[in-house]
């Protein structure tokens, strides 16, 4: 009855794809688990954390602080 599915599993299974980036802030090279957008600044893990911490005011995802909807 049960068949081993190879390559299935959906999200959460398998290794994450890492993309090489050069940090726009400190210039260090690193990898990110998402695909960096062209033309947009990309940060290494450390700077990403910093940016996120300094930018968000503790609102979390879609906190909606400005009332501006994208
Ligand atoms: Zn950096």
Task: Give 30-51 pLDDT, tens digit per residue.
Answer: 988 888 888 989 998 899 899 8
pLDDT, mean over the chain: 77
Non-local (6+) Cβ contacts of 18 within 8 A are 31, 32, 33
- Residue 51 pLDDT: 87
* Ligand 1 midpoint to CA 54 (Å): 14
Is-above-0.85 flag for pTM? no
- Residue 17 pLDDT: 86
Q: In the chain, what percentage of residues exceed pLDDT 90? A: 21
* Ligand 1 midpoint to CA 22 (Å): 8
**Residue 3 in tokens:** 């068949």
């Amino acid at each position: 009855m049960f068949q081993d599915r190879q390559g299935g599993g959906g999200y959460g299974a398998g290794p994450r794809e890492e993309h090489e980036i050069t940090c726009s802030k400190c210039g260090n090279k690193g990898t990110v688990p998402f695909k960096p957008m062209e033309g947009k600044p990309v940060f290494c893990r450390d700077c990403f954390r910093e940016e996120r911490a300094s930018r968000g005011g503790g609102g979390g995802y879609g906190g909606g602080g400005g009332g501006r909807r994208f």
